Structure formats: structure tokens, C-alpha cells
Amino acid sequence: MYPEQFEYQRPSSVSEAIGLLTANPDAKIIAGGHSLLPAMKMRLAAPAALVDIARIPELKGISASGDGATIGAGATYRELMDDAALAAAYPVVAETCDKVGDPAVRSRGTLGGSLAHVDPAADLTAVMLALGASVTATGPNGARTIGIDDLFVGLLTTTLEPDEIITSISLPASSAGTKQAYEKHSHPASGYAVAGVAVALQVDGTTCTSARIGVTGAPEYAMRATAAEDALVGKELTAETIAAAAEKATEGLGELNGDVYASAEYRAHLVKVLTRRALTRAAL
Ligand SMILES: Cc1cc2nc3c(=O)[nH]c(=O)nc-3n(C[C@H](O)[C@H](O)[C@H](O)COP(=O)(O)OP(=O)(O)OC[C@H]3O[C@@H](n4cnc5c(N)ncnc54)[C@H](O)[C@@H]3O)c2cc1C
């Protein structure tokens, strides 16, 4: 299907892009276009204008070290995979990007687009929850920081204002070098996550001192598995502790998604299995 008619605008700076969004409430940002264009073709979205931010230099660039990382919102999955410093400090990012879609999706899709879109089956939403990321959102009134725990609030819904652009994503020093892993059950047709679980653990000796677990695919939108996190902190990381924590991974996630491919019950099972696998691979 063809999308509705729309205007196409290509600003060269963030401030110009914000001006275009403010001037036209029916305009929408397009970055990689790999979520928005399919929605437009299915007539689920019909913006009057597309403001293309893909070539804005301010939105590019990745700087990473053991002291944290700052990633331009326009960084593609491919660019995230290819950054050696990011991979050294936050290996779960590249590991996850490698499991996203196909080469075309990875070459065009962006981190900012994935976080702004909050597809319930996206991968990096769960990873950013596990790593404790924050986003910088820039709008007509300037820039503000939104912690990842406060960004996702519903199906395809964030706390961003319509004329705000995610300009960068920051990863804290506290999650650099943590024990990290992402486990995913991919949909056989689309590659999207039927369920996916990202973990980041801080360990002192063999004792878990901090745990963050992000779950995607199964809940309405990516959420933290806080009951499982609580079951780990202060405990020795053994196979038994991990199994007990994984059993709690669906607590607090609300009603789980179900469809012809995977029922809510099956997704609940997957979340527990994937949590156990991710924790085991990260910790043992
Ligand atoms: C065949 C196929 C397979 C896929 N498989 C997977 C998969 O396995 N895992 C996965 O996670 N994803 C998958 N995707 C989705 C893909 O990763 C998308 O590219 C991504 O979710 C959105 O990023 P984008 O840059 O393409 O955003 P766009 O499609 O350009 O935009 C998406 C939404 O975000 C908004 N937006 C974009 N950038 C910003 C910004 N900087 N600030 C504020 N708002 C912004 C747009 O206005 C729009 O509403 C797949 C897509 C396709 C087509």
C-alpha cells in the first residue's frame, strides 16, 4: 500500500528541525524510517510532513569509555556494533544490535528512533533499561534529561513532547563493565522479539550488589523486572539464586501480550527462561 501524500523536509540542524515541528503540529520526525514508513504504508500513520533528521551532524557520533558513553540519537545499529570503545564498556549493545532485523534494518534504524517509537517488540528498549540509560530531549524550550525509567509509559508511547527530539543517549559509568547479556526469542518471520531479556549485574566477589533487568516483547512496553532484580541483590550468584530470581521475572509486568504466534502464557514462560539464560551467561 502507498502512504498518504506528505511533504518532505530535510533540516540541517536540530534547531531547524524543532522549528519545523513547532510550525506544523501534524509533522513527524523521520530518522531511519524502518518503523514509521511501514506504519504509513499500512495507513496507521498519516503525518502531513516528514522532518528528516537522518543527516543532521549533531545527531551523529559515539563517545564511550569506562566512565560512561554518549551516543548521538542518529547512531544506527550498524554504527553501534562497529564502535570498539562502546563494545568494550557495554558489550550487550553490540550483541543485541546483531540480533535486530536484517542488514538493511541495521544500516538504517537508529537508537533514537527505537527509543522514541517504543515498539513492544523492540530490542534496545530492554537493553537501555538494563544499562540505566538516560536520553537528552531537545525542544523549543531547550534540552532536558529523561531517565530511561521515566521515558516509556505505554504502547508506542513516551513522555516526549511532540516537538521534542531525542538528541543523545547517555549510559552511566556505573553500568560500564558490568556483567551483561541479552537473550531473545525472535519471531521467525520478522525477527522482532517475541520476548527478550537484557541484564546488567554488578558483582563484588560472587555477591550481586546491583541488578537491572529489562524485558521486552512480552509486556505492553519494555519494563524492568524489579521482583527478579530484588531477588538477586545481596545474594551469592549461584544457579539456585538465578533460577529463583528468574521465576519472579514476570511479576509486575502487567497483562502480557498474546497473539496467534505466542500466547500470553507462552510469553510468560519465555520471559522466565530467557531471564535465567541471560543471568547465567552474564554471571556464571
Ligand atoms: C523488517 C524489519 C525488521 C525489524 N526487526 C527489528 C528487530 O528485530 N528488533 C527491533 O528492535 N527493531 C526491529 N525493527 C525496527 C527497526 O529497528 C526500526 O528502525 C526502529 O525501531 C526505529 O528506528 P528508526 O530510526 O527507523 O525510526 P523511524 O521509523 O524513523 O521513526 C520511528 C518513530 O520514532 C520517532 N523518532 C525517530 N527518531 C526520533 C528522535 N531522535 N527523537 C524523537 N522521535 C524520533 C519518529 O517520529 C517515529 O514516530 C525492524 C524493522 C523492520 C522494517
Domain shared by 78 and 29, yes or no: no
Separation of CA 182 and ligand 1 centre (Å): 19
Last residue of some domain: 174, 200, 230?
A: 174
Domain shared by 140 and 65, yes or no: yes
Q: How far is CA 266 from CA 132, 217, 229, in A?
A: 28, 12, 22
Determine the pLDDT at residue 102.
94
200 Cβ inside 6 Å of ligand 1: no
The total number of structural domains in the chain stands at 3
**Domain holding 33: CATH number?**
3.30.43.10
In total, the chain counts a number of residues equal to 284
Domain shared by 158 and 207, yes or no: no
What does the angle CA 171 – CA 173 – CA 175 come to, to the nearest 5 degrees?
Answer: 75
Give domain status of residue 2, yes or no.
Answer: no
Judge contact between 29 and 43, C-beta under 8 A. no
Last residue of some domain: 18, 34, 51?
A: 51
Give domain status of residue 1, yes or no.
Answer: no
Give domain status of residue 39, yes or no.
Answer: yes
Determine the pLDDT at residue 2.
87
How far is CA 275 from its chain centroid? 17
**Domain holding 64: CATH number?**
3.30.465.10
Which atom in ligand 1 lies closest to the alpha carbon of residue 73? 41
Give domain status of residue 104, yes or no.
Answer: yes
Rounded to 5 degrees, what are φ and ψ at 202? -100, 135
Residue range 182-194, pLDDT digits in tens? 999 999 998 999 9
Query: Measuring from atom 27 of ligand 1, which residue has the nearest CA?
Result: 113
Query: Measuring from atom 43 of ligand 1, which residue has the nearest CA?
Result: 165
Which residue type does 220 have?
E
By C-alpha distance, which of 125, 136, 117, 92 is closest to 34? 117
Q: Can you tell me the distance from the alpha carbon of 273 to that of 195, in angstroms, rounded to the nearest whole number?
A: 10
Domain that holds residue 218: 178-283
Determine the pLDDT at residue 284.
83
Separation of CA 282 and ligand 1 centre (Å): 28
Domain shared by 140 and 153, yes or no: yes
| Segments of the chain scoring below 70 in pLDDT | none
By C-alpha distance, which of 98, 109, 274, 253 is closest to 194? 274
